Amino acid sequence: MPTETLADRIEAAIGRRPVAVEPLAGGSTVEVLKVALAGGEQIVAKSGQGNLAVERFMLDDLARLSDLPVPAVLYGDDTLLLMDYVEHDGGAPGAAAQAHAADLLAALHTVPRDGFGYAGDTVIGRLPQPNPPGDRWVPFFRDHRLLHMAERGHAEGTVGTVLRKRLEALAGRIDRYLDEPPHAALLHGDVWTGNVLTRGDRIAGFIDPAIYHGHPEIELAFATLFGTFGEPFFRRYAERAPFAPDFFELRRDLYNIYPLLVHVRYWDVAYARPIEATLARLGL
């Protein structure tokens, strides 16, 4: 059973009393539980100081604005989020599920959106993600992804002074390497294996989003960072929404500097090593 206080909060929010709980993976600053309710229904409860109202806003917007399968939110405030439990197999998606993921993400990315950024700031994990509106992608990525994360990391001591200066040098010439997309696209923003739930040959759910309007290439880059998707995904995606063939040569690694900086701040400064390797390739 959850603590009496949490059980009371859940019952007050949805009118049903928890009868059992099971810890789930995925919580870092919040507690994540699979909660059994009277009658057999299962839900997920997140509890703690973890920007949970923002997560509710992001899940609601993905459900409203896309066909991505996401868990329905039952209740959400700053410290408690309740949503449907998504049955899934666990582990990385196989070839057929990767093809399904490609269909879903290509459909999401091909819908033009108004400008870059978003209607409000979002989060990636527990870290703030600023989304001021803009009409050009490259300056948005430079200022509000690359430099923002580097500066915040430097201020807290996870990004060293030398790395910060090298990233600032990259920012000064970023338009040599990155291009403007045909249009802004809505992005899930945090597509890695732990956030992609598979059931058989299908994607059952995308969870823990970090949404904003951006270039689909940053989403595709992130999907390669921890081996989430491979050749079956990219072959199918290219059939639905062709991307520039030189993406894998350099731009993937440039875009992955952002999620790597997130991991430097979130988990371990060792994640700076692939960032430094990319910068060294550019003579920075």
- Establish whether 61 is a catalytic residue: no
Cα–Cα dist 17/39, whole Å? 10
pLDDT at residue 2 in the model: 60
pLDDT at residue 11 in the model: 93
Chunked in runs of 10, what are the mean pLDDT values of the chain (284 residues)? 78 92 77 91 91 95 97 96 94 93 98 97 94 98 98 97 98 97 97 93 96 98 93 97 91 98 94 98 96
Dihedral, 131, 133, 136, 141 alpha carbons, nearest 10: -10
pLDDT at residue 30 in the model: 85
pTM attached to this predicted model:
0.95
Cα–Cα dist 79/76, whole Å? 8
Which of 190, 246, 253, 268 does the annotation list as catalytic? 190
Helices (H), the chain: 4-14, 52-65, 95-109, 137-141, 148-156, 161-172, 216-225, 231-240, 251-255, 257-266, 272-281
Give backbone dihedrals phi and psi of 268, rounded to 5 degrees, phi first. -160, 135
The sign one gets for the Cα dihedral 239, 237, 276, 116 is positive
Helices (H), 92-213: 95-109, 137-141, 148-156, 161-172
pLDDT at residue 1 in the model: 53
Q: Check if the beta carbon of residue 59 is closer than 8 Å to that of residue 46.
A: no
Per the DSSP assignment, residues forming a β-bridge with 46 are 32, 81
DSSP 46-84: EESSS-HHHHHHHHHHHHHH-----PPEEEE-SSEEEEE
Q: Check if the beta carbon of residue 104 is closer than 8 Å to that of residue 68.
A: yes
Walk me through the domains of the chain, giving residue ranges and CATH numbers: 4-84 (3.30.200.20), 95-281 (3.90.1200.10)
Report the 10 Å Cβ neighbour count for 4. 8
pLDDT at residue 3 in the model: 62
pLDDT at residue 26 in the model: 66
Cα–Cα dist 262/228, whole Å? 17
b/e string for 223-238 if b means 16 or more Cβ within 10 A? bbbeebbeebbbebbe
Cα–Cα dist 224/167, whole Å? 22
Cα–Cα dist 134/52, whole Å? 26
Q: Shortest CA distance to 145 belongs to which of 128, 126, 165, 164? A: 128
